[in-house]
Amino acid sequence: MTSHVASDARTGRKVLTDAEVAAYERDGFLRPEFRLPTDTLAELQDMVARLIADNPEAMDRGEPVSSMHSPDYSVFPLKANPDEWLAFAQTTQILDLVEDLVGPDIILWGTHLFHKAPKTGGRVNWHRDAANYPINPLATPNVWIAVTPSTVDNGCVKFIPGSHATRQKGRHVAKDDVDPEAMIALTLEEEFDESTAVAMELEPGQLYISDPFIIHGSDPNTSPQPRTGLSLRYFPATSVYEHDNTPDEYSGSSYTKFSGRPLFLMRGIDRSGKNDFSIGHATENGGVLTAR
Ligand SMILES: O=C(O)CCC(=O)C(=O)O
């Protein structure tokens, strides 16, 4: 039997304080004190600059760019070096931070670059990420790292605090007709009080973590500056990514494709014993990385 083990030790390191973990659980999102070290940020900015330069057509689509760590699985053709994106997603302090929230067994299942070009970068309609994620039980903190400044003027992300608490996925509909320029057209059909929204302004190297059930979105970029952030999507290996349970509604969309998606065990053990690290990989254990 194949053992899915990247490493077998809880590191015991902590990046988040107990108060930050409590705030994340209460609000459904968190901007921690932690920020990327200067050299790590410079490395990320260089990777992003090359990705943007190498993929003018993908960037022109005005959508999030997906799966830089696994470009063969991207929803549209993408020139990217998967090794450097995977290595970045395995940055020790980022995994330590995720470990503080979900424990030491960590799988990467998605990466997205949300690049809003100056003046033209579109809106991300209100949504809950959880909508149709095939992860069971559903837990998947999203780590969104600011590559450029992220401000109200250039369309930073906004959250409805506490809206994750219902653990409802919500009903989402495509609203292309309403806002053809939207970066994500799917919109949550649900009543909530937009006046309670909190704007997540970030300096480069700062990050937020968000719960999959939190209601969030962002406005168009009306500024002359770009607004770019990298989303790293992890889930605890106590949960299972159900490749055969991917909803038609989403799996065909250009933004997100769920079936056939390769998983990468970044740290720890596949506690569930049910995650498949061969799908999307050349070998049976292809998605099991050496631990960091
Ligand atoms: O970058 C944005 O504006 C939206 C980000 C988002 O919706 C996400 O990371 O799930």
How far, in Å, CA of 114 to CA of 124, rounded? 10
Instruction: Describe the crossing of helices 82-89 and 38-54 by its angle, rounded to 10 degrees.
Output: 150
Entry pTM: 0.94
In this predicted model, what pLDDT tens digit does every residue of 40-53 receive, in sequence order? 999 999 999 999 99
Question: What residues line ligand 1, using a CB cutoff of 6 Å?
Answer: 114, 124, 129, 142, 144, 157, 216, 218, 229, 231
- Residue 234's H or E segment, with its range, is strand 227-236
Q: b/e for 77-97, b at 16 or more Cβ within 10 A?
A: ebebebebbbebbbbeebbbb
pLDDT at 34: 97
pLDDT at 8: 47
Best probe residue, ligand 1, of 133, 144, 181, 219 (max atoms within 8 Å of C-beta): 144
- The minimum-distance atom of ligand 1 relative to the CA of 157 is 3
**152 Cα–ligand 1 center, Å:** 14
pLDDT at 97: 96
Low-confidence ranges of the chain (pLDDT < 70): 1-11, 175-178, 247-256, 291-292
**124 Cα–ligand 1 center, Å:** 7
- Residue 263 carries which DSSP code? P
The structure tokens listed for 211 are: 């719960």
Q: Which of 276, 272, 280 lies closest to 237 in space, CA to CA?
A: 272
In the chain the domains, ranked by start, together with CATH numbers, are 5-269 (2.60.120.620)
Q: Which residue has the tokens 């995994």?
A: 95
- Phi, psi (rounded to 5 degrees) for 149: -60, 145
Note the Cα 268 to chain centre separation in Å: 20
**218 Cα–ligand 1 center, Å:** 7
pLDDT at 128: 94
Tell whether omega for the bond before 137 is within 30 degrees of 0, i.e. cis. yes
Helix count and strand count (H, E) for the chain: 6, 15
Q: Residues with Cβ < 8 Å from 76, sequence gap 6 or more?
A: 57, 58, 61, 254
Amino acid letter, residue 239: S
pLDDT at 1: 37
